[in-house]
């Protein structure tokens, strides 16, 4: 009998009790290790967080916070972004990188808010992702951090951590997997605990010897010594950045 061709599709397994138990321990320890879990972008309204999150693509949050400290004193409403003359908004956000594209996205998003929602940022996934330039990750961040609506946001850190911990196979994608494994009340905490863990310890070259969940992690390529991991040309551990805890 000819050998059956190997399927390229990933097997999706419903979370069993062992996985749920391990996942619960992981989250408990991460939340304890990162008591400052929460968004690291500075904002005082849903609009500010939406703008900051769009600007944060391919950029460090610290840089975005430097830019928005000034930006938010000048642009207070969606109309301010929509009406910003060509070249002016671009200059005001230049330091965030990819500023032409980001300015285009901000104007389109602001026009959408004005045309569809009376200038208010909506508080549900469908309407948020209906805005031009707003994907599920951005919408989930805004929902969780600005409105307290349970949502899992998957950025590159969450993706890397979930894959190494093998908590990414309970659904068709990582967001669905984490939503299946963790109760709704923990979705925001999962997002930010995984983000901070990916930034500080489970980096591209992970600092496994000092990882608080080392014994719960099945990743086969754990680093054995801290010095070897630190030699991997990564910047020093960043200090904790206080963020606004989701309501």
What are the structure tokens assigned to 64, written together?
Answer: 């975005």
* Cα distances (angstroms) measured from residue 121 to each of 34, 127, 229: 29, 9, 43
Q: At closest approach, how far in Å is the CB of 57 from ligand SF4?
A: 24
Q: Is 30 in the site for ligand SF4 (CB under 6 A)?
A: no
What are the structure tokens assigned to 187, written together?
Answer: 């979705």
Based on CB atoms, which residue is closest to ligand SF4, 15 or 206?
206
What is the H or E stretch that residue 44 is in?
Answer: none
* Cα distances (angstroms) measured from residue 141 to each of 17, 137, 147, 202, 216: 28, 6, 9, 21, 27
Based on CB atoms, which residue is closest to ligand SF4, 50 or 211?
211
Considering Cα of 202, then 203, then 206, then 209, what sign does the dihedral take?
A: negative
Residue from 204, 223, 202 nearest 213 by CA: 202
Q: Which of 53, 192, 208, 246 binds ligand SF4 (CB under 6 A)?
A: 208
Q: Is 166 in the site for ligand SF4 (CB under 6 A)?
A: no
Binding segment for ligand SF4 (CB under 6 A), chosen from 83-91, 107-115, 148-156, 214-222, is: 214-222
Based on CB atoms, which residue is closest to ligand SF4, 20 or 166?
166
Contacts of 101 (CB under 8 A, 6+ apart): none
Q: Which of 64, 113, 121, 217 binds ligand SF4 (CB under 6 A)?
A: 217
Q: Is 154 in the site for ligand SF4 (CB under 6 A)?
A: no
Based on CB atoms, which residue is closest to ligand SF4, 149 or 211?
211
Based on CB atoms, which residue is closest to ligand SF4, 170 or 217?
217
Residues tagged active-site = 137, 155
What are the structure tokens assigned to 111, written together?
Answer: 């026009």
Q: Is 211 in the site for ligand SF4 (CB under 6 A)?
A: yes
Q: At closest approach, how far in Å is the CB of 36 from ligand SF4?
A: 19
Binding segment for ligand SF4 (CB under 6 A), chosen from 56-64, 137-145, 175-183, 207-215, is: 207-215
Considering Cα of 57, then 61, then 64, then 69, what sign does the dihedral take?
A: positive
Q: Is 165 in the site for ligand SF4 (CB under 6 A)?
A: yes
The CA dihedral of 120, 121, 123, 126, to the nearest 10 degrees, is 110
Alpha-carbon distance 204 to 186, whole Å?
25
Instruction: Identify residues 218-237 at the interface with ligand SF4 (CB under 6 A).
Output: 219, 222
Based on CB atoms, which residue is closest to ligand SF4, 78 or 206?
206
* Cα distances (angstroms) measured from residue 112 to each of 12, 37, 138, 223: 37, 31, 15, 47
Question: Which residue ranges make up the site for ligand SF4 (CB under 6 A)?
Answer: 164-165, 201-202, 206-208, 211, 213-214, 217, 219, 222
């Amino acid at each position: 009998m000819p050998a059956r061709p190997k399927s390229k599709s990933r097997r999706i397994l419903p979370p069993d009790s062992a996985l749920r138990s391990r996942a619960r321990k992981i989250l408990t320890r991460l939340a304890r290790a990162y008591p400052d879990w929460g968004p690291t972008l500075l904002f005082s309204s849903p609009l500010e967080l939406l703008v900051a999150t769009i600007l944060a693509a391919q950029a460090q949050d610290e840089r975005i916070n430097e830019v928005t400290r000034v930006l938010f004193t000048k642009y207070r409403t969606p109309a301010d972004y929509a009406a910003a003359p060509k070249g002016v908004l671009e200059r005001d956000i230049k330091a965030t990188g990819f500023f032409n594209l980001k300015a285009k996205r901000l104007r389109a998003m602001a026009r959408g808010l004005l045309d569809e929602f009376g200038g208010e940022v909506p508080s549900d996934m469908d309407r948020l992702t209906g805005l031009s330039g707003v994907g599920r990750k951005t919408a989930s961040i805004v929902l969780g951090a600005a409105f307290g609506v349970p949502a899992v946001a998957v950025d590159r850190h969450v993706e890397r951590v979930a894959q190494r911990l093998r908590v990414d196979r309970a659904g068709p994608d990582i967001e669905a997997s984490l939503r299946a494994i963790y109760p709704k009340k923990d979705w925001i905490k999962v997002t930010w605990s995984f983000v901070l863990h990916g930034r500080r310890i489970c980096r591209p070259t992970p600092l496994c010897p000092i990882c608080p969940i080392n014994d719960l992690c099945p990743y086969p390529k754990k680093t054995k010594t801290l010095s070897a991991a630190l030699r991997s040309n990564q910047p020093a551990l960043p200090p904790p950045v206080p963020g606004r805890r989701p309501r």
